[in-house]
Structures are given as structure tokens and as C-alpha cells.
Amino acid sequence: MNHSYRWVIVAAGGLLGCVAGGAMFSLPIFLRPMAEDTGWSVTGISTAMTIGFLAMAAASMAWGGLSDRFGPRPVVLTGSAVLAASLALASRAGSLVEFQLLFGLLVGAATAAVFAPMMACVTGWFDTQRGLAVSLVSAGMGMAPLTMAPLAAWLVTVHDWRAAMLIVAGIAAALMIPAALLVRRPPALEAGPDAMIADEPQPDMTVRQAVRSPQFVILMLANFFCCATHSGPIFHTVSYAVTCGIPTMAAVSIYSVEGLAGMLGRIGFGLAGDRFGAQRVLVIGLLAQAFGVLAYMFVSTLGPFYAVAALVGFIYAGTMPLYAVIIRENFPLRIMGTIIGGTAMAGSLGMSIGPLLGGLIYDRFDSYALMYVGSWGMGLAAVLILATFRPFPGRQTQLAAA
């Protein structure tokens, strides 16, 4: 197989992630039009997002395991078809509960079919420039706020929310299904998932041994607290800006600035991880993230909002791909989908906390201040947890010899 095909895998992964993530994260754009049209509560509609993250968590490890067994293409193709169908059905929902199940449960589970299998696939295609490769895939996912979010915002100005969501479903099908057909199993695994690979970390490790290892547990906990740190600020910052007196369209642009900075952050952190080591760069990034989200407490006008959003977006987006690099350096390729799926599960659980807690805090105190303080605390917890990570003994020797 052509060695250059690995960059096709990167491009396909980036496109799939952009559309899948963008479709799911379009819900904040639809929030107010839906509430005004249906009479459903904002909290009730927002709960669909929390359900979506919980569904992603529940499905991530299962999709990852299936991709280890059958290869990434059938898994990603299935997820793409289910995502488009679920969005179309959600646009026709006649009740809040129906919408929560269709958008939350099905869209969330389908989105999970893209992330872990594609990250695992890409790590298997690259022996060098691995940090850059996974970061580029992640950068594609980070394009969602710059592409799908403005598209959804424009669609709801010219159509009602149901037609707009149905159009998003059609776009998802048209882009994701062809991209999924380009995905191929890493060459090292062409002989099957049990193929022996030279210089493989922990070649005899079973899934049971992997998930019971301190290394896996630490990565899961770090990813949980990392995602819990930024999920509230991502979901509620537009609303917070509006409470500060910033017009809605200008407030939405803060989200786009965060997304643009995130693209640069993914590439910057990926290059830094290749140069200085993924774990070292990730610890520094998590520390910077904690203080970045806290900085939101001290801004109230558009210029400072842009500055903090750019900083936070650069950092939180940059840190995320490095978990996959650390996993590939410590676990065998044949179980990559399962292990990355496990950390993605923890991350999705962390992401599910922010929207709900942020809403509860605002409803109780009429202020988002405590949400940002809580995010800062969870960010520090992520730093302390990841600082305890130690590579497997055999891997430690290889790293020292490198």
C-alpha cells in the first residue's frame, strides 16, 4: 500500500470529525429558536447535549473494540449513516423526550463511532510525525465552530429550526459517507488484528491487562478532569457574554475565535509533542488550561473575551490529541481502538458535566463565576493526576535509549 496514503487517512479523519462534531455541537445554535417554536425549556433542550455526551461515553469503548476487531471502515461508515439518520429524525421530533432520545442518545452514540476508531487508525499509520498527524485529524474536528456552527446559524435565519436541522443531516450524509469509504486499516494490521508488529510496546498485553493497568487508569482520570475543565466554559461562554451585555451575534463570534485558535493549538501542540515528548507538553498544557478558564471571570467586554477565548481555545484543543500519542507509545496497536475508546469514554463523561453544572450554577446564583472557579479546580486536578503517569518499564527503557 502506498505510504503516502496515510495523509488521505488524516484528511478523511479530519473531515469526518469536523462534520460529526459540528452536527452535534450545533445544538447551542438551535437552542433559542427551538425553545421559542416549541415551548420546550432551555434546560430540557440542553439536557439533550448532556445525554449526547453520556451516550458518547457509553459507546466509545464499544466502537473502539469493534474497530480493533473488524477494522475502522465499517465502524465509521455505520456511525456516519446513523448520525445523518438520527439528525433527520430529531428534526421531526414531536416532544422534548423524543428529541432528547433522538438527538442525545443516537447522535451522541454515532459521533463516538468516529473519534476513537479514527484516532486509533491514524496512530497506526504513523511511526514518525505521529503527534502532528493526530493533531491534524483533531484540527479537522476543531474546524466545526468555524464551518458547521456558522452554517447552522445562517440556516436558522432563513429556515425554521426543523428544516435547518434536516439540511444539516443531508450535508452530514453527503460528506461523511464518501469520506468513511476512504478509511483503511493500518498496513501493520493488514494480516489481521493479531498480527505481530516489530518494536511494539507491550506486544503480549491483553485488553484485560491494559484496562487494569495504572497507566490506563491515570490517562482516563486525567482526560475526565481535563474535559470537565473546559466543557462548561465551551458551552456557556456565549451565554455568559450575553449576560455581560454583548450582542448575541458578537457573542457567537467568541465561539468562532476559540475554534480558530484551537486549530492552531492542535498543530502547535502536536509539533511540540513530537519535539519535547507528549506527556511533558500535555502536563504544561493542562496547567495553562486551568488558569485560562479562570481568566473568563475577569472579562466583560468583547476585546478581552476574544483574548481569553483565543488563549483557552489554543490550549484546550491542543492538549486533546496528545492523549492518543501517549497511548500509542505505551500500548500495542492491535488494541488501540479499545484503549483510546476508554479514554474517550472518560473524556465524554467529563464533557457531560460542564453544560449541566454551569446551568445549575447560573440558575441558583444568577452568575457564572462559580462555574469558572470550579473549572479551574478540576483543571488543577488533571495536572496533578497526569504528573503521576509513568510509562511501562519496557517502554521507559526504550524512551531512555531513544
The pLDDT value recorded for residue 153 is: 84
Residue 351 within any structural domain of the chain: yes
Residue 352 within any structural domain of the chain: yes
The pLDDT value recorded for residue 402 is: 43
Q: What distance in Å separates the CA atoms of residue 85 and residue 172, rounded to the nearest whole number?
A: 9
Q: Which amino acid is at 305?
A: F
The torsion of the CA quartet 101, 54, 235, 253, rounded to 10 degrees, works out to -70
- What is the enclosing helix (H) or strand (E) of 266? helix 248-276
All residue ranges of the chain with pLDDT < 50 are 1, 193, 395-402
Q: What is the DSSP letter of 100?
A: I
End-to-end CA distance of the chain: 28
Q: Which three cell numbers stand for residue 326?
A: 501517549
Q: Which residue bears the cell 439536557?
A: 47
Q: Which three cell numbers stand for residue 312?
A: 483557552
Residue 196 within any structural domain of the chain: no
CA distances from 270 to 14, 22, 59, 134 (A): 15, 22, 27, 8
| Cα of 248 vs its chain's centroid, Å | 25
3-27 burial, b at 16+ Cβ within 10 Å, e below that, comes to eeebeebbebbbbbbbbbbbbbbbb
Q: Which three cell numbers stand for residue 121?
A: 487508525
Contact 354, 231 (CB under 8 A): yes
Residue 238 within any structural domain of the chain: yes
CA distances from 140 to 134, 190, 374 (A): 10, 26, 29
The pLDDT value recorded for residue 202 is: 74
Quote the number of domains for the chain: 1
Residue 200 within any structural domain of the chain: no
Contact 336, 120 (CB under 8 A): yes
Q: Where are the beta strands (DSSP E) in 223-371?
A: none
Residue 328 within any structural domain of the chain: yes
C-beta atoms surrounding 144 within 10 Å: 23
Query: Among candidates 301, 264, 289, which has minimal Cα distance to 372?
Result: 289
Residue 261 within any structural domain of the chain: yes
Q: What is the pTM of this model?
A: 0.80
Residue 366 within any structural domain of the chain: yes
CATH code of the domain containing 288 = 1.20.1250.20
Query: Among candidates 82, 85, 63, 73, which has minimal Cα distance to 181?
Result: 73
CA distances from 342 to 38, 109, 143, 174 (A): 37, 14, 24, 29
- CA 29, 30, 31, 35 dihedral sign is positive
The pLDDT value recorded for residue 186 is: 86
Domain boundaries, position 117: 5-186+205-401
